[in-house]
Chain A
Amino acid sequence: MGFIVAKRYKIFGTTADVGVESWGDSLSEAFEAQAEGMFDVMAELPGVRPAEDFEIEAEGDDDETLLVAFLNELLFLFDAGGVLFREFKVSEIRGGRLKAAARGEKIDTSRHVIKTPVKAVTYHMIKVEKTKKGYRTKVVYDI
């Protein structure tokens, strides 16, 4: 799980909600960056320790639904299990299936700074595309 030196995502605003644009050399990297962006919307990431490991699996009919399914898995662990994630490693994307590892820790409100909790991942303006340099994704979140 590599330390990300430069951010590979950008957070942008819509009228009521928030979106994240991400990029990477590979599809996996672009997915990882999107996940990091989603958690950056929710909390101050530098304060989150990558203490616990979680295995993530997701399925989708195309790259967009696969990305949404991946993010929904993480959001579920956040909302049901109270886990804030900090690091992401997508190890495999093949035939509409994804395998990933994510590291984070349980929310501790005395230590973590919560910014804006995400309610849901939407399909609005969703984009997963190949570019000259690699891959780019765009997701809008319901706040």
Chain B
Amino acid sequence: MTSKLQKLDDYRWLLPQDYKPGMRVPGIIYASDALMENIKKDESVEQVANAATLPGIVKASLAMPDMHFGYGLPIGGVVATDAKKDGVITPGGVGFDINCGVRMLRTNLSRADVKDKIRALVEGLYASIPTGVGAKGELRLSRSDFDRMLVQGARWAVDNGYGSRDDLERIEAGGCIQGADPDKVSEKAYERGKGQIGTLGSGNHFAEIQYVQKVFDEKAGAAFGLFEGQVTLMIHTGSRGFGHQVCTDYLKVMEASVRKYGFSLPDRQLACAPIDSPEGRDYLAAMRAAANFGFTNRQMIMHWAREVFLHVLHLSPRDLGMTLIYDVAHNIVKFEEHEVEGRKMTLAVHRKGATRAFPPGHPETPAVYKDVGQPVIIPGDMGTYSYILAGTERGMAETFGSACHGAGRVMSRAAAVKACRGRAIERELEDIGVIVRYTGRDALKEEIPEAYKDIDQVVDVVHNAGIAKRVAKLRPIGVIKG
């Protein structure tokens, strides 16, 4: 079936609308020849086609080069639906981990300044940030405070002593998605979420000390406050059990909605509702609450991480200069204005394992980055690299201002664990200069570098296709994981 894929240029592939009955728009996949070989191995191309059947979808069902199989949309999928007409909203286009995302901090330090302190920093982070299963956050909120947090997001965290006002303008949507309604969140979600505020979780989530290995774009690098050899920090986590429960709850609601509105869908995980329907509005209100939980979570973890750096390195905040560069969500649906075929439209942009990448001068690109574009943070995995990119006009025009979100898996967790048999992964990482602390027995093995696509290739496609531009490459030196 994938033989119907047409290669448009070195980085773009067209999945024609007649690939599958019911497709309302074609699919566009961003990939090189080499990445496409891998992409064809799972059902993710089929999922790009399935997403194209969603009512109200505009332009194309898009997929980024890190794409792989997901539930409903592929991971790496971007789908925009018409919010003013017949568009739908689907939890399968956001994923279970609502507002999973990543934030990155700069420091004034060079690698040499922390050479002998990495282990102490890693131990400090591990002690301060609850990690893995059963780890509870230190914070216990009353129900009314919890609800306030859901409505206000990172602003709530700042008001309660976690970080500063300056942080907020460097978070997507200011760290608060408007329109969250705690009443649309189930008791179960509250029960799961109440002990997990300010916890890292497990899976591919991490807090990582890195250094800037290379700055590709001097102007954008300077705007982001980056220089070669500089120590930085990256935090990758989401809305924890709270968000998972919101998604689980609304999948059930959407199953009923599909019958009610008479939608015919090729995949149960794409269950959806009209944006302007009770089901659609309720999901949005709950999804936004979960998104705000995610922003709060990362804000608190960042605050603790800063304290660890100050304490371990005995520096003043001014000397440390550990400030937020940016925080982006990569599992979310948002209302945005875009131009489609010369017409301004309000769209519900679903990004599932895709990062918003707005261009220079866009009203939602922070003022400090208005000349270079919004920072786009791409976490890699602990053995290789991460990247920071910047949004472009071409991305705005082509991909609703979206880029990739990571390297993307190529190996199943079981295969990864098997590949580790007889190997000491912790030691292997130490040999290449990465100190790791983790909780789950298989946490390290499941996330070995060879389980992922080559992030260099993924970022090359995004950069060369012009939908975001490379700014700097980061290399890990210390990692904590769930």
Question: Interface of A with B (CB < 8 Å)?
Answer: 11-18, 42, 44, 61, 65, 72, 76, 79-80, 82, 107, 109, 113-117, 119-124, 126, 140, 142-143
Contacts and interface: CB of A to CB of B under 8 A. Distances in A.
B192 A15 contact: no
A15 B409 contact: yes
A123 B255 CA distance: 11
B439 A114 contact: yes
Nearest to B68: A15
Contacts, number: 105
A97 B248 CA distance: 19
A123 B440 contact: no
26 contacts: A14-B69, A14-B412, A15-B42, A16-B69, A42-B133, A61-B255, A65-B252, A65-B255, A76-B245, A79-B241, A79-B244, A80-B188, A109-B132, A114-B134, A114-B439, A114-B440, A115-B441, A116-B413, A117-B132, A117-B440, A119-B241, A120-B248, A122-B96, A123-B251, A123-B268, A124-B269
B71 to A, nearest CB: 5
Contacts of A76: 188, 191-192, 245
Contacts of B191: 76, 80
Secondary structure at the A interface, as helix, strand, loop or mixed, is loop
A5 to B, nearest CB: 24
B313 interface: no
A52 B75 CA distance: 39
Given A115-B442, A120-B248, 7 more contacts: A13-B414, A15-B411, A16-B68, A44-B441, A114-B441, A116-B203, A116-B443
A11 B482 CA distance: 22
Interface in B423-442: 439-442
Contacts of A17: 412-413
Contacts of A126: 268
Contact of A115 (B255, B415, B440): B440
A79 B69 contact: no
Contacts of A121: 248
Contact of A80 (B97, B192, B439): B192
B68 A120 contact: no
Interface centre among A44, A79, A124, A126 (most CB of B within 10 A): A79
Contacts of A143: 203, 413
B192 A116 contact: no
Contacts of A72: 248
Nearest to B443: A116
B290 interface: no
Contacts of A80: 188, 191-192, 195, 241
A116 B269 contact: no
B183 to A, nearest CB: 19
